[in-house]
Amino acid sequence: TTEKAWLDERLAYIKAYEASEKRPSFVSDAEIEAVLKRKADPERLEVEEVLSKAKELHGLTPDDAAVLLNNRDPELWAEIFATAHWIKQEVYGNRIVLFAPLYISSPCVNNCAYCGFRHSNDQVAKKTLSPAELEAEVKALITKGHKRLIVVYGEHPASDVDFMCRTIETIYAVKEGRGEIRRVNVNAAPLTVEEYRRLKEVGIGTYQVFQETYHLTTYRKMHPANTLKGSFRWRLFALHRAQEAGIDDVAVGALFGLYDWRFEVLGLLYHALDLEREFGVGPHTISVPRLEPALNTPLTTSSPYRVADEDFKKAVTVLRCAVPYTGIILTCREKPALRREVIALGVSQVDAGSRTAVGGYAEMEREHIPDREQFQLADTRSLDEYILELCRDGYIPSFCTAGYRTGRTGCHFMSFAKQGLIKNFCLPNAVLTFKEYLLDYASPETRDAGEKTIARHVEDFARRMPQRAEKLKEMLSRMEGGQ
């Protein structure tokens, strides 16, 4: 009954919000379909013009993006891929930021057709971490070398905003050896402005809400109307409310596989443009989760819109060209070989060594726990193994959280990014936090590869910024001395 009372109250709140929210929706099925139709068959010249514009690094309009999305010429696709790769190198360099998801609770009042945690799915056992279990999960993650988490909650009275604040404070307080978690991002249901303010007070990093699909007709099919998630507009403006509450790093995403991937790329672009228009800053990151199998969840394997690998690559590529200063997150949902390919096309953040079952890190040796996980991951390699691959591919892994701790968030981060400073400020921080990882957690093989990676990047940095490189070298030797 308390669950029912909570649910009724929240539903009434959302209904009242819908009636009072004056902002017009920034997406509509008809408008996005019209853009795609208008640019249905682009000429070579048109594609090339859009690519030149993308290289100016000021982003693209929905019409420009539709030109790329609708291109059918394989030769031109090769050019589009190359442009995205160039943009990624220009803005982000070789740096790849690492994080892990931490599933804290799975009980959920919603019934999303694609999710293993949905209310009506009695084949997946729902679980909420106790304080002791939470601490054990955090320690397990710290012991692997993680510094950044995204915490994940089901929507339920037992995981309301009080619970979220308590658990986040617990995470920040855990110390294990020389490590701790330095940035906690959140992926949870849309909240009220007042609730977001509470989360800001406990020092969260980014707040992430995935729209799942920007196609209203599909949204209604996936999310029953009488559930909290049934309100498209409550979710559509979730991140606007977060911004109003002062959370200036917000993150968007679409669940690829529910509807046409081209439509979703444009939906994400409209969302980014609307946040930028209203708050002067677009989303901090864009996520591109793709539908994965989940126990007793037939839609995950039968959806007619499941996205082929090649199309998935195209989606990331067009996003990279369209919003050059927004990070793109790729997750362990994807298999190792594809992750490798997609990273080169524009990804700046990835998770590694991840589990999607609540309590999954305490049982790390089990790659899959089907009756407890939200969906099945395709990349279950350890963080250390994955870092070795990144080094061999020429990237520099970063655990840096300094930008956020020194107030380089929201607009500040964006203007910083737009001046091309990510490569110069973030590189030394990547080197230092990676060195920390190598000293404290790496296997001998990864340490060896990692030291070579660091040496190469420091050398390159010294050619560009000799004075700052001296300081960096000095700091590295202090770390070797135990600091």
> If binding is defined by CB under 6 A, does position 431 make contact with ligand SAM?
no
Q: Which partner, ligand SF4, ligand SAM, none, binds residue 441 by CB below 5 to 8 Å per kind?
A: none
**Residues interacting with ligand SF4, by CB under 6 A?**
108, 110, 112, 115, 117-118, 154-155, 229
Single residue of 240, 262, 333, 423 touching ligand SAM by CB under 6 A: 333
> If binding is defined by CB under 6 A, does position 109 make contact with ligand SAM?
no
- The minimum distance between CB 468 and ligand SAM, in angstroms, equals 39
Single residue of 292, 334, 379, 384 touching ligand SAM by CB under 6 A: 292
- The minimum distance between CB 111 and ligand SF4, in angstroms, equals 6
N- to C-terminal Cα separation, the chain: 55
The number of residues making up the chain comes to 483
Nearer to ligand SAM, 89 or 301 (CB): 301
Q: Quick one: tokens of 1?
A: 């009954």
Of 420, 421, 435, nearest to 472 (Cα)?
435
Chain positions 49 to 108 lying near ligand SAM, rule: CB under 6 A, are 108
Chain positions 222 to 281 lying near ligand SAM, rule: CB under 6 A, are 255
- The minimum distance between CB 325 and ligand SF4, in angstroms, equals 28
Distances (CA, A) of 213 to 209, 243, 255, 329, 367: 12, 21, 6, 17, 29
Q: Which partner, ligand SF4, ligand SAM, none, binds residue 286 by CB below 5 to 8 Å per kind?
A: none
Nearer to ligand SF4, 229 or 284 (CB): 229
- The minimum distance between CB 307 and ligand SAM, in angstroms, equals 11
Contact 182, 145 (CB under 8 A): no
Chain positions 160 to 219 lying near ligand SAM, rule: CB under 6 A, are 187-189, 209-210, 212
> If binding is defined by CB under 6 A, does position 14 make contact with ligand SAM?
no
Nearer to ligand SF4, 37 or 220 (CB): 220
Nearer to ligand SAM, 63 or 133 (CB): 133
- The minimum distance between CB 101 and ligand SAM, in angstroms, equals 9
- The minimum distance between CB 253 and ligand SAM, in angstroms, equals 6
Three-state secondary structure of the chain: CHHHHHHHHHHHHHHHHHHHCCCCCCCCHHHHHHHHHHCCCCCHHHHHHHHHHHHCCCCCCHHHHHHHHCCCCHHHHHHHHHHHHHHHHHHHCCEEEEEEEEEEECCCCCCCCCCCCCCCCCCCCCCECCHHHHHHHHHHHHHHCCCEEEEEECCCHHHCHHHHHHHHHHHHHCEECCEECCEEEEECCCCCHHHHHHHHHCCCCCEECCCECCCHHHHHHHCCCCCHHHCHHHHHCHHHHHHHCCCCCEEEEECECCCCHHHHHHHHHHHHHHHHHHHCCCCCEEECCECCCCCCCCHHHHCCCCCCHHHHHHHHHHHHHHCCCCEEEECCCCCHHHHHHHHCCCCCEEECCCCCECCCCCCCCCCCCCCCECCCCCCCCCHHHHHHHHHHCCCEEECCCHHHHCCCCHHHHHHHHHCCCHHHHHHHHHHHHHHHHHHHCCCHHHHHHHHHHHHHHHHHHHHHCHHHHHHHHHHHHHHHCCC
Q: Which partner, ligand SF4, ligand SAM, none, binds residue 118 by CB below 5 to 8 Å per kind?
A: ligand SF4
Identify which range of 290-298, 307-315, 437-445, 460-468 contacts ligand SAM by CB under 6 A: 290-298
Nearer to ligand SF4, 94 or 121 (CB): 121
Nearer to ligand SF4, 147 or 156 (CB): 156
> If binding is defined by CB under 6 A, does position 374 make contact with ligand SAM?
yes
- The minimum distance between CB 229 and ligand SF4, in angstroms, equals 5
- The minimum distance between CB 107 and ligand SF4, in angstroms, equals 9
> If binding is defined by CB under 6 A, does position 150 make contact with ligand SAM?
no
Nearer to ligand SF4, 121 or 243 (CB): 121
Single residue of 32, 228, 294, 343 touching ligand SAM by CB under 6 A: 294
- The minimum distance between CB 154 and ligand SF4, in angstroms, equals 4
Identify which range of 38-46, 264-272, 286-294, 341-349 contacts ligand SAM by CB under 6 A: 286-294
Contact 375, 356 (CB under 8 A): yes
Q: Which partner, ligand SF4, ligand SAM, none, binds residue 188 by CB below 5 to 8 Å per kind?
A: ligand SAM
Distances (CA, A) of 158 to 128, 161, 171, 289, 409: 8, 9, 18, 26, 31
- The minimum distance between CB 330 and ligand SAM, in angstroms, equals 13
Number of residues that bind ligand SAM (CB under 6 A): 21
Q: Which partner, ligand SF4, ligand SAM, none, binds residue 248 by CB below 5 to 8 Å per kind?
A: none
Which chain residues interact with ligand SAM by CB under 6 A?
108, 114-115, 152, 154-155, 187-189, 209-210, 212, 255, 289, 291-292, 294, 300, 333, 374-375
